[in-house]
Chains A and B, each alone.
Chain A
């Protein structure tokens, strides 16, 4: 078993919280893991990505080879497309549809959605809108994580446990809010997998 995952977004959007949760669940499942992060200049509103590799055997490279990623998990629609060279033919693209516009030449959302929808395996959802409806506006990333979970090959219960652990020190209310956001994304993906 191996899951090679590209996490994508814009510096400051907090993709590392998704990576940390999956990583914690992977370790809890007795799997090997490597996670390459982006620090430094790009964190100031530039494009950022993380290579997260999980396997039941030792992992060699910190970087995922092109064409071999099983998943792209993106918290921003344009950023989800930047890593298509990495996605395998059967891989899935899970992305937020809410754009983060901090450049003047940002493409139209319609053109982005057309590209995303041209992929056979994709889940696209407006995580902010879903989170807001739940009264959990700050948990959009957990909606995205939920939507990616059916494809992780890690028991969803392990992910829930990791969320509990990760947010435990912030209190029970925050834990509950994040779990609800997670469930909303998870349910959405289950309903849109085919």
Chain B
């Protein structure tokens, strides 16, 4: 069969389509976005009537997927690692309810924080929820594991967490497909009370989950995703998780490894294999992409056994993603680092696009705030976070989705007035609305700027759940009509915008300013599409 050249993300999507998935739910977030986009653009998925699209946030996506699983069909939900924080309530409790139709939760981690505010490791969540975790080492495994993961989920009645990292998500390689299979029909859970987590029932369900743990581990012994390779040199044994295995192999160009290797792709950790390696070798080296979870659990608190090397003892850096050179050094090999970067090469941080509406919003805001001391603008997650950089230097915080509004409220409560929140339209619907209700209920003196460019721009222009209805939402929540102001962020309206901002900064209540203009990237795209259409019509 002809191999497809797929990103890790796309391999997951194709695997899900072929494995008989009926629906995929997600909120965009790098590096997970391309999974859902692939399904949305797949002709096969359309023919098979696979439901796909963006949810308002990761929690609603997780719950919708759980609902589809309840109804007996296979569902997938995708997010970036910090999205799992948002979905955590639903995720942890889905482990207690268990699954009916196959349910896979994909969380894409971003070690080294290429496009994120932290590098949390989603495997903690899998362990926390006590569900099986799959961690592919390459694109083919990503495909195969999705196919297998739906079976595992249905067989053991549990959601399965699939954890990937940036390098796999955004790297392309050949993937061979399996025969595609039918979707499930609607079929309710056998136990009608399975999904009712009333305490009395939740206790039962929790015991069931605990009882399943041994079987979860057994599955990892037979799936083929945990493999043991016997080596002649027993001076140390190596445990790899996920893509760390590739970096190990890269250091042995002839692929003849002298050491015993335990390659982990499925959790809970297989005790029998770990013990075998521990007993056979003088010491262990643990190579994990992410936090030292396996390493820590092997060492335990007292660390009295054989020497275990990894991220905790400095053999590998404590933070950041791995690469072949870091692994080379850990193996005692020479680092092949080439010439130094010449000192004249300077950093080139990302910046707002030429003509971006946010530029004009920030120019006006900066000027409106000139009469006050700095340090009073609370911002959020999106392209506009780039307002932190030169030449704007316009914002003072960026923490998590929606935190702008609520942090501004807290600061205002503390007496920092005026307090300004800057949030995008998509982030507002994701997690800003609830914070706005807090502000309105308590009449907090905050000025909230909702930068409405009509899209989820940072991740590539996905649809925004607000659809230009932001003022209606604010009105419905109870923001006073005369303090909901829509403006056009452009140089020609600068003076007017400035005076409106100054007025609202003085207002001792909730005001919402909505600078509204289409994202320059989506505008260019739709302009191109329109031009193409016109050309076709003319032809």
Query: CB within 8 Å of B: which residues of A?
Result: 10-11, 23, 27, 32-47, 51, 59-69, 78-79, 81-82, 84-89, 102-107, 111-112, 115
Q: Are A65 and B350 closer than 8 Å at their CB atoms?
A: no
Is B499 an interface residue when CB atoms closer than 8 A count as contact?
no
Q: Are A103 and B346 closer than 8 Å at their CB atoms?
A: yes
Bound complex: CA A46 to CA B346 (Å): 11
Q: 10 closest pairs, A vs B, by CB? A: A40-B115, A40-B30, A67-B336, A46-B350, A60-B249, A62-B171, A65-B324, A67-B338, A61-B250, A44-B350
Is B7 an interface residue when CB atoms closer than 8 A count as contact?
yes
Q: Are A45 and B353 closer than 8 Å at their CB atoms?
A: yes
Q: Are A34 and B337 closer than 8 Å at their CB atoms?
A: no
CB contacts (< 8 Å) of A60 on chain B: these are: 246-247, 249-250
Query: 15 more A-B contacts (CB under 8 A) besides A42-B115, A60-B247, A82-B341?
Result: A23-B5, A37-B7, A37-B172, A40-B31, A41-B30, A44-B386, A61-B324, A62-B168, A64-B324, A65-B324, A65-B328, A66-B336, A78-B344, A85-B338, A86-B338
CB contacts (< 8 Å) of B350 on chain A: these are: 11, 41-46
8 Å CB interface, B153-174 against A: 167-168, 170-174
Bound complex: CA A40 to CA B115 (Å): 6
16 A-B pairs (CB sep. < 8 Å) = A35-B173, A37-B171, A39-B170, A39-B460, A41-B458, A44-B351, A44-B352, A44-B383, A46-B351, A60-B246, A62-B246, A66-B325, A78-B348, A84-B340, A85-B341, A115-B344
CB contacts (< 8 Å) of A44 on chain B: these are: 350-353, 383, 386, 458
Q: Are A107 and B5 closer than 8 Å at their CB atoms?
A: no
Specify the chain B residue showing the minimal Cβ separation from A69: B338
Is B295 an interface residue when CB atoms closer than 8 A count as contact?
no
Bound complex: CA A161 to CA B5 (Å): 18
Q: Are B250 and A67 closer than 8 Å at their CB atoms?
A: no
Name the distance in Å between A99's Cβ and chain B's nearest Cβ.
Answer: 11
Bound complex: CA A82 to CA B347 (Å): 9
Q: Are A39 and B339 closer than 8 Å at their CB atoms?
A: no
Total contacting residues, chain B, CB less than 8 A? 49
The listed residue with most A CB atoms (<10 A of its CB), out of B345, B347, B386, B391, is B345
Is B314 an interface residue when CB atoms closer than 8 A count as contact?
no
Q: Are B338 and A89 closer than 8 Å at their CB atoms?
A: yes
Bound complex: CA A23 to CA B34 (Å): 20
Q: Are B345 and A35 closer than 8 Å at their CB atoms?
A: no
8 Å CB interface, B415-468 against A: 458-460
Is B335 an interface residue when CB atoms closer than 8 A count as contact?
yes
Q: Are B167 and A85 closer than 8 Å at their CB atoms?
A: no
Name the distance in Å between A115's Cβ and chain B's nearest Cβ.
Answer: 5
Specify the chain A residue showing the minimal Cβ separation from B8: A62
Q: Contacting A34 at CB < 8 Å: which of B173, B346, B352?
A: B173
CB contacts (< 8 Å) of B347 on chain A: these are: 47, 103
Q: Are B348 and A84 closer than 8 Å at their CB atoms?
A: no
Specify the chain B residue showing the minimal Cβ separation from A82: B345
Bound complex: CA A81 to CA B34 (Å): 30
CB contacts (< 8 Å) of B349 on chain A: these are: 46, 103
Is B243 an interface residue when CB atoms closer than 8 A count as contact?
yes
Bound complex: CA A107 to CA B243 (Å): 37
Q: Are A68 and B336 closer than 8 Å at their CB atoms?
A: yes
Bound complex: CA A46 to CA B114 (Å): 11
Name the distance in Å between A45's Cβ and chain B's nearest Cβ.
Answer: 4
Q: Are B249 and A61 closer than 8 Å at their CB atoms?
A: yes
CB contacts (< 8 Å) of A105 on chain B: these are: 346
Is B342 an interface residue when CB atoms closer than 8 A count as contact?
yes
Q: Contacting B342 at CB < 8 Å: which of A34, A36, A47, A115?
A: A115
Q: Are B348 and A102 closer than 8 Å at their CB atoms?
A: yes
Bound complex: CA A89 to CA B34 (Å): 37
Specify the chain B residue showing the minimal Cβ separation from A41: B115
Q: Are A40 and B247 closer than 8 Å at their CB atoms?
A: no
Q: Are B114 and A42 closer than 8 Å at their CB atoms?
A: yes
Q: Are B171 and A46 closer than 8 Å at their CB atoms?
A: no
Is B313 an interface residue when CB atoms closer than 8 A count as contact?
no
